[in-house]
Amino acid sequence: MKLALFDCDGTIVDSAAVIHACMERTFTDFGVERPALERTKSIIGLTLDIAIAQMLDRPVDPEIVAMTARYKEHFMLYRQNGGALEPAYDGLLPLIAALAARDDVILGVVTGKSRRGLDAILAHHGLTKAFFATRTADDCPSKPHPAMVLECCAEAGVDPERTTVIGDAVYDMQMAVSAGARAVGVSWGYGPVEALRAAGAHHVVDHAGEIATLI
């Protein structure tokens, strides 16, 4: 049996526009210069408080905690006001359906999103039943800590060396390597391809269909 663990933001769905809009509003509320889109993209995948702290180049302090709470308020307002849920990247939904139908593969998600956020995305795209194991920012330390991968491995009963982590960020690659799993980067997300390779990616793919052949 094999285990395939997918990152969410930047790998399954394109969430940069929503995340960046909420970051802009949060920074404005606290009198901080609004970040450039590329800066926001660079932290997608980290747990929210660590992401904001890294954007501001400082440790998590009381103001960062307050900004984290404000970001969540803006995100909830976006949802409550009918904001569109993040679209899936081309080919990802058929890929996940095909992998979920295989007898030799177990699927999981490892993400810096909240549990509530991940559940909404999976439900919206009809993916809830496709994934056996899921870990979020509410469950584990932030990437690149290997806990998300190792806990999913334990839950699925699959060793890390038979596990593949698929993601778009250097944090995903570092997490996979630290856990002893295979790291597969995707070029359609937010992390530069060369950075993925430098972070330990064993493969970098350009199309969703390539992932099935690697698992």
* Interval 101-137: pLDDT, tens: 999 999 999 999 999 999 999 999 999 999 999 999 9
In terms of domains, do 57 and 162 share one?
A: no
Report which secondary-structure segment, H or E, holds 206: none
Last residue of a domain, one of 80, 103, 122: 80
Confidence band, pLDDT 50/70/90 cuts, at residue 55: very high
40: number of CA atoms within 13 Å, CB side? 21
In terms of domains, do 167 and 177 share one?
A: yes
Tokens of 173: 């690659």
pLDDT, residue 82, reads: 81
pLDDT, residue 83, reads: 77
In terms of domains, do 127 and 178 share one?
A: yes
In terms of domains, do 6 and 74 share one?
A: no
In terms of domains, do 76 and 117 share one?
A: no
Query: Which CATH number covers residue 210?
Result: 3.40.50.1000
CA atoms of 116 and 139, how far apart (whole Å): 12
For the residues 15-32, what does the mean pLDDT come to? 96
Tokens of 67: 């900004």
Q: Which of 166, 206, 175, 187 is nearest to 7 (CA)?
A: 166
pLDDT, residue 84, reads: 77
pLDDT, residue 94, reads: 97
In terms of domains, do 98 and 185 share one?
A: yes
Beta carbons of 56 and 21 less than 8 angstroms apart: no
Query: Which CATH number covers residue 73?
Result: 1.10.150
Q: Which of 68, 62, 83 is nearest to 17 (CA)?
A: 83
In terms of domains, do 61 and 143 share one?
A: no
Range of the domain at 41: 16-80
- Mean of the per-residue pLDDT values of the chain: 96
Residue 80 has pLDDT above 90, yes or no: no
Cα three-residue angle 77-20-189, rounded to 5 degrees: 125
* The total number of structural domains that make up the chain: 2
pLDDT digits (tens, 9 = 90+) for 168-204: 999 999 999 999 999 999 999 999 999 999 999 999 9
CA atoms of 127 and 119, how far apart (whole Å): 9
In terms of domains, do 113 and 25 share one?
A: no
Last residue of a domain, one of 29, 49, 80: 80
In terms of domains, do 129 and 210 share one?
A: yes
Confidence band, pLDDT 50/70/90 cuts, at residue 214: very high
For the residues 75-101, what does the mean pLDDT come to? 92
Confidence band, pLDDT 50/70/90 cuts, at residue 33: very high
Return the exposure string of 137-166: e unless at least 16 CB atoms fall within 10 Å of the residue's CB, then b: beebebbbbbbbbbbbbeebebebeebbbb
Residue 81 has pLDDT above 90, yes or no: no
pLDDT, residue 151, reads: 98
Residue 8 has pLDDT above 80, yes or no: yes
In terms of domains, do 70 and 91 share one?
A: no
Phi and psi at residue 163, to the nearest 5°: -115, 140
